[in-house]
Amino acid sequence: MEKRLILDKATRRRQLVDAAIGVFAAKGYRVASITDIITAAAVARGTFYLHFQSKEEAFHAVLDRFHEAFTAMAAREKARRYGNPLALQTRLRESLIEWLGFLLSNRDLTKIVLRQAAAVDPDYDRQYQQIVRDMQDHSAKAIRFLQGIKILRADLDPRFLNSVFHGVTTQVVLQAIADGTDPDLEAVADQWIDLLRMGVVRPGLPTGNRAGRPRAARTKP
């Protein structure tokens, strides 16, 4: 007779959270059920209720898993020093590769947080956004320093640059998750650095008006 594997409480809870991550990512919170979770975890229904009172509580545990990992990543980012102009490019490249790697190595969890969390749990979304803002405040200080010593353009808003960085990262990750691909993170980082260094408009190109669009031809009265 095959013996049933006995796991300690913490390990069993991690197993259930792992199963819930896979189920919520595949089916979405609304469609997913407790039966789906216990089937994926290969446990009895009673085992589920020893750890969670509801599907919503299991979802919160999934979000907590991401929050802990994301907070640890944010702490490492805040410890990263951008003050040395000679190391700026290296630091930015390291940061982008690490963030992309973190999000893509936790694809199901990332998909849940970026696609579902706000709709299911607005309070969690606010908590997540606060972490992002705290990180951006740190980055903004570094950007202002580099603007002050004339390494970066002084006319660009640090918060705008942070939003661009966050948006690019999120979009690359979501596209890779949707396509099921493994992007070359170093190539992505190099393109991002080149974009920062050189911009996207060819030097010397006439811009016309302030928005860069050609002015409409005037007709004589």
Q: What is the pLDDT of residue 202?
A: 59
Which range among 2-11, 38-47, 130-139, 175-184 shows the weakest confidence by mean pLDDT? 2-11
Regarding predicted confidence, which is higher, 30 or 164? 30
Nearest to 182 by CA among 103, 89, 67: 103
How sure is the predictor about 166, in pLDDT bands with cuts at 50, 70 and 90? confident
Instruction: Write out the two tokens for 189.
Output: 């980082």
Q: What is the pLDDT of residues 31-80, one digit of tens each?
A: 999 999 999 999 999 999 999 999 999 999 999 999 899 888 888 888 88
Residue 13 contacts residue 58 (beta carbons within 8 Å): no
Q: What are the b/e assignments for 32-68, b being 16+ CB within 10 Å?
A: bebebbbebbebeeebbeebbeebeebbbbbbebbbe
What is the full DSSP assignment across 100-120? HHHHHHTHHHHHHHHHTHHHH
pLDDT tens digits, 107-146: 999 999 888 888 888 888 888 888 777 777 877 887 788 7
Which residue is it, tokens 């929050």? 67
Contacts for 195-203 with beta carbons within 8 Å, 24 or more apart?
196/92, 197/89
Query: What domains sit in the chain, N to C, each tagged with a CATH number?
Result: 61-198 (1.10.357.10)
32 or 217, which is more confident? 32
pTM: 0.78
